Amino acid sequence: MIDSLIVFAISLLIGAIGIYAGAKVIVDAEDYTYAIITALIGAIVWGVVGFFFGWIPLLGPLLVFVAYLAVINARYPGGWVDAAAITIVAWLSVLVVLYVLAFLGVTGFDAVGVPGI
């Protein structure tokens, strides 16, 4: 159980790095703690909406993604386009971080708080 909590915490911190990077680039927000909370809320919303609607073909994953975007949109200034841009930058930056860490043998290839990774 402790191992799972450690993996969750590290994955959450890596996911928050992506959100922080996306928010810094898109809306010039510089609060990493805020990004951690956003990643945690996003992961919870992603999980809950995915549990209830994720099984619906085509529509389910779209609803899950829109719910995640709604979290980003609610937590950061700007609109839906900025939220989508933050998500794209977050996804790309986490992808790079995880690739490097996996290449070095430090971690697996997943993170909490950024969808699809």
117 within some domain: no
Any domain includes 26: yes
Question: Considering the domain boundaries, does residue 100 fall inside one?
Answer: yes
Region 60-76: mean pLDDT is 94
- Higher-confidence residue of 92 and 114: namely 92
The pLDDT of residue 64 is above 80:
yes
Range of the domain at 91: 1-112
pLDDT tens, residue by residue, 19-49: 999 999 999 999 999 999 999 999 999 989 9
CA–CA distance, 43 with 81 (Å, rounded to integer): 20
Residue 41 belongs to a domain:
yes
Tell me whether residue 32 is in a domain: yes
Inside any domain, residue 46? yes
In the chain, the number of structural domains is: 1
**Across 89-114, average pLDDT:** 78
- Is-contact 113 42, C-beta < 8 A? yes
